[in-house]
Amino acid sequence: MLINLSDVLSDQHKTVDETVPLTMDKICLQSGEYPVVSSEPVHVRAEHIKGKELLINADTALTVLIPCDRCLEEVRYDFVLNCTRHVDLGLSDAELTEELDESNFIDGYHLDVDKMLFHEILSEWPEKVLCREDCKGLCRVCGRNLNTGSCDCEDPGLDPRMSVVRDLFKNFKEV
């Protein structure tokens, strides 16, 4: 979604105050694609500071499906965003890109709302998502989701000395 900023830069310096829909339906990262399942309209405000300098603010909230780190079940993760950027349109494109942290969300006299928010989502992206604090994850042998029940696999991660003891215990039980 592009918002025309030329009114803010005109002689009247009319403040832009608009509510627009979020048009992203997924978040594409190197690690994969994450569907956006719901979002609030984006409230955008752009006001003139001086010369060609603007203060741009955008706020919204969205819910993204991110797989649980342990069991891979999709988790609804909520982002509440409120970002403010100081932009100087008097700069050249190259200077602007550098100034804006390599995410150029200004295209000529237009603000690309999705690009601006995408950068904010990246910076808020969680390092780890769990479906619940005590998620048991997947069995490393058969891949079963251990939250839904246990399996009969031996845990290969156990200390080998312990498995000797366990075998002795098993033999003892079988006698």
The residues of the shown chain that bind Zn ion, judged by CB under 5 A, are 68, 70-71, 131, 135, 139, 141-142, 144, 151, 153
145 Rama sector, left if φ>0, alpha if ψ -120 to 50, beta otherwise: beta
What are the CA-CA distances from residue 11 to residues 42, 45, 91 (Å)?
27, 18, 19
Look-up of token digits 């994450």: 34
Contact assessment for residue 78 and residue 60, using Cβ atoms and an 8 Å cutoff = no
CB of 171 vs Zn ion, minimal distance in Å: 23
| Identity of the residue numbered 160 | P
d(CA 138, CA 150): 10
Min dist CB 114 to Zn ion, Å, is 30
Closest separation between CB of residue 132 and Zn ion, Å?
6
Q: Which residue lies nearer to Zn ion by CB, 86 or 170?
A: 170
Residue 8 three-state SS:
helix
Based on CB atoms, which residue is closest to Zn ion, 102 or 134? 134
CB of 38 to Zn ion, least distance (A): 21
91's tokens: 């700069």
